[in-house]
Structure 1
Amino acid sequence: MFDTIFGLPVHALVVHGVVVLLPLMAVVTLVWAWRRPARPATGWLVVAADLVVTAMTFVAKESGEALQRRLGGRAALEHGELADPLPLIAGALLLTAVLVQVHRTRGDGAGGRSAGLRTGLSVLVTAAAAVVVVWTVRVGHSGAEAVWGEIVSNTSQ
């Protein structure tokens, strides 16, 4: 299922979306969590986008494992190990977005306790977003190095 589509590795098609969209959604979710959106529906759009990117991350991981099996199971081992937790990390961002949105939907009132909870949830989003960006860069870099490192080092300008 995650092996090929139209004769091309699914991983090569999906991974670029993850490398671009996951950090982008981390930043969008971070900004949204700290700012009060004009419309309540905005939060559900952020949650939905985080869900889509989390699903893409899972597909990228599974398709990468299928590609690795196709190549004999020894290709890009470090990259594969680094990528293993990425869907869970994306899921953590999604979970923090859901918590913020549920808190907002239930009405966070004007009390100090509610403001403290809102701030605490925003701090959780910040932590999740930071881990998402750093881990995505690490995984993407190791994948690019696995594919292109030897080719570039063996060619001249």
Structure 2
Amino acid sequence: MELDRIEKLLSKYFEGSTSLPEEAELKAFFLQDDIPAHLAEYRPMFTYFKKTKQERFTKVLPLQEEKKLNSKKWIPWLSVAASVLIMVGLFFGKGYYDQKQLEKEKAQYAYKETKKALDMLAENFSRGTEKVAYLNEFVEAKEKIYNKN
């Protein structure tokens, strides 16, 4: 009966669904001297866990001193790096500014041309309405002449 329970606990253990008391029961079983032959292959795993719990690291590690950076050596290089960054920023910033100005000028030119075209169209429409007004007078005169008869 106990052997069946241990086998069931082992299958649950490998599925990862055992509780802590069940795992403790498995460890206690495999730490015994008399284990059935078909379960002996699992014994090293549980004894390994017991042995590794008892291991301690005893070597002495030599600690190295932290090297302090000499700030006097880095100051000239920092100023060179900062000036290079400023020059790169100015170079690319100027290009970006020029590109935006060109786009703005193109947009203003397109606006002026469109405005010219629309003004010309409005002028032609007003001329057309004048012609229609003359045509309207002609129609009225014609109706007066035909209505007199």
Normalised to the residue count of structure 2, the TM-score between the two structures is 0.27
Kindly indicate whether structure 1 or structure 2 has the higher relative contact order, using CA contacts under 8 Å at least 6 residues apart: 1
Normalised to the residue count of structure 1, the TM-score between the two structures is 0.25
Larger radius of gyration: 2
